[in-house]
Structure 1
Amino acid sequence: MSQSRFTGGLLAALVLAGAGAASGRSALFVAAVIPLVFVLYGALSVPRADDGVHVTRDLSTESPLPGDRVAVELTVENVGGSALPDVRVADGVPGDLRVVDGSPDAALALPADGTATVEYTIVADRGQFPFDSPTVRVRGASATNARTVDAPVDGTDELNCQVSVADVPLRRQTTAHAGTLPTDSGGPGIEFHSTREYQRGDPASRINWRRYAKTGELSTVNYRERRAAAVVLAVDARDASDATAHTGTPSGASLSAYAAARAVEPLETAGHRVGLAVFGIDDPVTGGTDPAWVPPGTGDAHHARIATVLDAAVEDGADDSEPTTEEAEPEQGEKQVATADGGSWLGAGDDARIDRFAERVQPGTQVVVCSPALDEFPVALTRRLAADGHHVTAVSPDVTATDTPGRTLAATDRALSLSDLRAAGAHVVDWSPDEPLASAVARATTTIRGGQR
């Protein structure tokens, strides 16, 4: 109750009581006493200024991956000396994050020194998201008055969703440079490969002295050579891939860019030469035509250029509205282009994008295609690369759902695309954003090593 309302109510009750006393009419006096008691009780039940409420916010993880679910626990404590029968709490959830379970709002009753917990779950997206302070309103026992409490907040005040690193299962297609990828050829190294007859000039450290001691014959040990690979990360950030399973979750184009970004550092650390292509945007550094292109290379300047192009891919997708997979439709004016098998279709310009990219990729280069596989584009790209002799690994974030007929159809189309990718020779990492990308990669790597695709 505000001060003016309280003063007005009290004045009216007093005037009515005074009129009853002056007139000698007991009924009028009794009628005035009842609201007077109610007004006074409301005034006495107003929470005191020293009735403090303290809030602590904890996250299940402060640095999740895009698409991860993050549990938020808000602990509300009554640090005052009296009970608070009605406390309303609304946490300051960042506006760009979606609450998928529970509610950040709650109505609580807190005894003196009592605590209560509010729990809800949000979906992480790329970037830094500061939480606002929670809004806390405390009502008195009469439920007719309330005040907003300045509640101090401890614990976590920001969700930091950055891209970290993970290993991508590379194929044995390498360059002549030394590196960490094992090959099928023998030479200097540390892992035994084979033996051969001694040749003049072979180093003494590679002579099989044990065999010489037994037979008197000189032979040379070959070890499995480890070489570096040239790898191009191909990100599908086209409009057709900029779709989500539900509003407020990362899009397929954004998750594809995240997957590529996570692969850059471990590949560079292992000595591989890393390149990047982003389909759907022009090159933000050189102004080159779609796809944006960074040829394989090494060094700090090269790494910075890759980061610039990946950031442009994510920002471009964030600037556009993100339809769900049920709502995504071909752009107006798109033409349909049949692929080689006659059973799939490409949007206008997709075949030209593939041609430009294929002409830039040098022989012996591996390609990691990062795409949600919502249409036939990644399949057509993989077939072209395989025909040119390139080994392909496909990392596909799943942004489909099955809660409506339209979304179920989109999920079925994606499943068919993944099957076509495997048939085209690609090793497929089928990644659901509900699990860590590292787990999906590990599962795919185990499948690959088991002789399956």
Structure 2
Amino acid sequence: MWTLKSAMLIDAGVILLLLGLVFHNHQAIVLALTLLSFVIIVGYKTVNVRLDAQRTVSTDKSFEGGIVDVRLRIKNLGRKIEFLEIMDDLPPTMEIVGGSNYLLITLNRGEEFVMKYRFKCHLRGHYSLGPVRLRSRPLFGMFYTEETIDVLSPVTVLPRIEDLSGIVIKAKYPKIFPGALTTRQVGPGTEFYSIREYVRGDELKKVNWKAYARTGRIMVNEYDRENVSDVMIVLDSRETEGVGTVLENPLAHGARAAATLANYFLQRRDSVGVAVYTDTLRIVPIDAGGGRLYRLLDEIAAAEPRGNAPLNGVVDLLLPYVSPNATVILISTLNNDLTVKEALRKVCAHHFDLIILSPSQVDFERNALGLKADDLYRTLKLERSILLSEIRSYGARVIDWTPETSLRRALTGLMA
């Protein structure tokens, strides 16, 4: 392709040639032909880029905030390239924190060059690094050639998992066989509850010998009864959930909450499923077992704000996948959906343990726009408070989650 320099030389050559012909000036004609010949020869000598590119990444899965190292090897298979620009395309949510994904070098025939850089992952999702964009220019810089090498490297950024140690989320309807989700009832388990005096029939392994030495009375330990529960986490990924900034919006917070809760319940050996709804519904059925967490995180990572599926229709499709008396955790702003009340009444009527973690869209939007708490804001907050109060009357446990509140703090309300 032509540069401004080559265009100016050709214009000058044409003008000189016309003036020389008009005024019969042989010197002007010779100079014009010299300029035009020079441009033509340089253009003919322009190097056709023949390069090979191979990229390696330190990992193809990372969590939000994680660092990924990249090595891009470029080999020149053609003639020497005096000026070669290399750009390795990155998604806009990834930040270069070391090295550079852009270089300007000279590359001899058969020579290899390795570009190294590292980037930080800021937002969950399924991404591809690349393609590699190349631009070469000859010595005089009058022409350039561009080429794209389709070397793509998939990278999945998983939602960040927060620490919930010490948080105990109790199920209303645990299963009857021994398992994981703690209920505040005395029974077989591993988590200490209290001590009491020994009665005939107690197992000797439960005797608290330290208490016996201290009091002179035989005391036995009591433990929380543990039960396995089925948990279905439902993430609202409609277009309205993207209100705010790219990194600070209800969906970004909701995805991290879904990932954190999935990890929490799986560590307690519960059976967990995930459903994400946009204009469609994607379901990972309730199950347990090794490797389950990354299957759930992959589905959550793919959540993007789009569509506007009504919650009532989502519930109808989801019910066959949820076992009786399961815990259903809905993560949604509950905005822009006229079917919310009917849908949630239906869930409670089926005797599911319904927990709603509701990011406050009003607060996300206000923070993104830098607005003050005016009368309109207070009115919207009041309407939201009335809606959440009505949903609580159905028997659901509802958490009004503001952007300033950590997930750990928001979930402490479920411990009561």
Whether the 8 Å contact between 1:232 and 1:277 is mirrored in structure 2 is: yes
For residues 114-263 of structure 1, the aligned pairs below 5 Å read 126-127=125-126, 129=128, 131-141=130-140, 143-148=141-146, 157-161=152-156, 163=158, 166=161, 171-173=169-171, 174-213=174-213, 215-236=215-236, 241=239, 244-245=242-243, 260=258, 263=261
Judged with a 3 Å threshold, the aligned counterparts in structure 2 of structure 1 residues 89 and 191 are, in CA distance, closer, same or farther, namely: closer
Identity %: 14
Superposition pairs of residues 14-413 of structure 1, within 5 angstroms: 27-37=25-35, 39-40=37-38, 43=41, 49=47, 63=61, 84=83, 126-127=125-126, 129=128, 131-141=130-140, 143-148=141-146, 157-161=152-156, 163=158, 166=161, 171-173=169-171, 174-213=174-213, 215-236=215-236, 241=239, 244-245=242-243, 260=258, 263-264=261-262, 267-275=265-273, 298=288, 322=306, 350=312, 353=315, 357=319, 362-363=324-325, 365-375=326-336, 390=353, 392-394=355-357, 396=359, 402=368
What whole-Å deviation, never above 9, does each CA across 1:325-370 have from its counterpart, x for those lacking one? Answer: xxx7xx9xxxxxxxxxxxxxxx6x839947995997634x422112
Closer/same/farther in 2, CA of residues 138 and 449 from structure 1, 3 Å limit: same
Q: How many residues of Structure 1 are paired with residues of Structure 2 in the alignment?
A: 375
The answer to whether the 8 Å contact 1:241/1:252 transfers is no
Is the counterpart of residue 444 in structure 1 residue 407 in structure 2?
A: yes
SS of the equivalent of 1:426 reads strand
After TM superposition, the structure 1 stretch with the greater mean CA deviation from structure 2, 217-226 or 249-258, is 249-258
Distance 1:151 1:241 in 2: 34
Q: Distance in 1 between matches of 2:321 and 2:24?
A: 102
Q: Which amino acid aligns with 1:271?
A: R
Counterpart-to-counterpart distance in 2, 1:418 and 1:31: 85
> Hey, what's the Cα distance between the residues in 2 that align with 1:418 and 1:62?
43
1:231 deviates by 1.8
- For residues 272 and 419 of structure 1, do their structure 2 counterparts lie closer, same or farther at Cα, with a shift above 3 Å needed? farther
Look up the match of 1:427. Answer: 399
Q: CA RMSD in A?
A: 6.6
Deviation at 1:172, TM superposition (A): 1.5
TM-score, with length taken from structure 2: 0.57
Partner letter of residue 195 of structure 1?
Answer: I
Whole-angstrom CA distance in 1 between matches of 2:85 and 2:178: 64
TM norm structure 1: 0.53
Q: Cα offset for 1:221?
A: 2.0
Decide whether the 8 Å contact of 2:187 with 2:224 is kept in 1. yes
Unpaired runs of 5+ in structure 2?
none
Decide whether the 8 Å contact of 1:190 with 1:224 is kept in 2. Answer: yes
Maintained 8 Å contact 2:312/2:342: no
SS of 1:232's equivalent in the other structure is strand
Taking the aligned partners of 1:229 and 1:265, their CA distance within structure 2 comes to 14
Distance, in Å, in 1 between the alignment partners of 2:370 and 2:103 is 36
SS in structure 1 of the partner of residue 38 of structure 2: helix
Listed one character per residue, the Cα deviations across residues 51-88 of structure 1 (whole Å, up to 9, x for unaligned) are 9989898989854569x89999999999998853xx66
The whole-number CA distance in structure 2 between the counterparts of 1:100 and 1:164 is 14
CA–CA separation in structure 1 for the residues paired with 2:278 and 2:215: 65
Contact 2:357 2:401 in 1 (8 A): yes
* 1:270-297 Cα deviation digits (max 9, x unpaired): 311335566678989xxxxxxx795x55
How far apart, CA to CA, are the structure 1 residues paired with 2:301 and 2:226? 35
What SS is found at the alignment partner of 2:25?
Answer: helix
Q: Residues 78-126 of structure 1: CA distance to partner in whole angstroms, max 9, x if unpaired?
A: 9998853xx6666556xxx667999xxx998767999999999998674
